[in-house]
Amino acid sequence: MGRTFTELPARSKCSRCRGRARIGLPSHNARFCPDCYLLFFSTAVQRALKRLSVPREEPLLVAVSGGKDSLTAWDILNELGYATHGLHINLGIGDFSEASRERVDAFARARGLSWSEYSLQREFGYSLPEINRRFQGKICSVCGRLKRQHLNRLAVRENYGNLVTGHNLDDEAGRLLGNLVGNRQEYVRKQSPYLPSPHPYIPAKLKPLYRLDISEIRIYCELRGIEPAEIKCPLSRGATSHYFKEALDMLEGRMPGTKRQFLFAYINTRQGETGQEADFGECCFCGHPAYADVCGVCSLKGQMEAKN
C-alpha cells in the first residue's frame, strides 16, 4: 500500500505529546505523532464500543472481507483484548476472491487468530458470477443482501451472538444521506452503529469503526503493517452510494468535520432506540426470520431457479 499521509513540516508538534507530529487530521483540528495517532484511533473505537455496551468477556465474530476496514476492526478489537473469531465468505469471484481470502489468511496467521471460511456457492447454491448473469445491473445490491443474510445465518451456526462489521464513518454517513434523500424512512430508522439481536436467528450487529473515516483507517493500516486486499471487485459497477460519499467528501473538503457532525447529530437524536423492529415471521421454505412469507435468500433462490 502506498503512503497514505503527507509529511507535515518538521516544526509541527503533536497535539497530544508535543513531540514531532507526522499526521495531520483537519477534521479534528489535530496533528499527531504515530504513537499518539494510534491512541487517538483506539480511543475512538473504545468510545464506539462503550456506546455499543459490549462486555469485554463477550466473544465477537468479525466479518472479514480481506479489505482494510474489516481487517482494521479485527486488529483493533484484538489489541483491545476482545476474544475474536473471523468469518469470511468466499464469493467465488476469481482472482478477486482468491486475493481477498489470501489476505485474511495472512493476517490471521501473523497474529495467531482463528477464522472460518464459507463458500457462497456451497451455502446458497450459486456463485456470484452465476448470480451476476441473472441480475446484471443490480448485482451490488443483490450481493449485499446475500452477504448480510448469510453472515446472520453463519454467525448463529457458529454460536456467536455478536457480529462485527467494518463499516466506517464514510459508509454510514453516505448511507444515511442516500436514505434521507430517497426518504426511505424504514431504512433510516434501522440505521445504527449497534443493532441488538431482535430474534434468536439474528445476531446483534456492531460497527466499532463508525467514528473513523477511510483516510484514518488507511493511516492505521499503514502504521500497524496491515496489508489489505487492494483489488477491486470486477462485478462492481459504481453503486449510487458512491455519489453520496463523494458529495460528503466535497463538503468535508470545504468544511472539515461536516461528515462526523452529520452522522453523529443523527445518531445522538436516536439514542435509546433499538433500531431493529421484531415485525417479522418465519420463511415458509427454510424457517428463517422473514418480513414476508419467503425470506430474502429463498426468494433469490426462487428467482435463480425460475430463470435457469
Shortest CB 31 distance to ligand AMP, Å: 28
Shortest CB 228 distance to ligand AMP, Å: 11
Q: Which does 166 bind (CB under 5 to 8 A by kind): ligand AMP, Zn ion, none?
A: ligand AMP
Residues at the interface with ligand AMP (CB under 6 A):
63-65, 69-70, 87-89, 91, 144, 147, 165-167
Shortest CB 125 distance to Zn ion, Å: 12
Q: Which is nearer to ligand AMP, 21 or 66 (CB)?
A: 66
Provide the H-helix boundaries in 19-138: 34-52, 68-79, 94-111, 120-124, 128-134
Site for Zn ion in 277-296 (CB under 5 A): 283, 285-286, 295
Grid cell of 52 as nine digits: 455499543
Is residue 202 near Zn ion by the rule CB under 5 A?
no
Q: Which does 285 bind (CB under 5 to 8 A by kind): Zn ion, ligand AMP, none?
A: Zn ion
Grid cell of 126 as nine digits: 450459486
How many helical (H) and strand (E) elements, i.e. helices and strands, does the chain have? Answer: 12, 10
Shortest CB 298 distance to Zn ion, Å: 3
Q: What are phi and psi of 183, to 5 degrees?
A: 50, 45
Who's near 114: CB < 8 A, 6+ residues apart?
A: 85, 86, 108
Contact 205, 163 (CB under 8 A): yes
Q: Which is nearer to ligand AMP, 70 or 197 (CB)?
A: 70
Tell which one of 167, 298, 300, 301 touches Zn ion (CB under 5 A).
Answer: 298
Amino acid sitting at position 223: L
Determine the distance from the C-alpha atom of residue 127 to the mean position of all C-alpha atoms in its chain, rounded to a whole number.
22
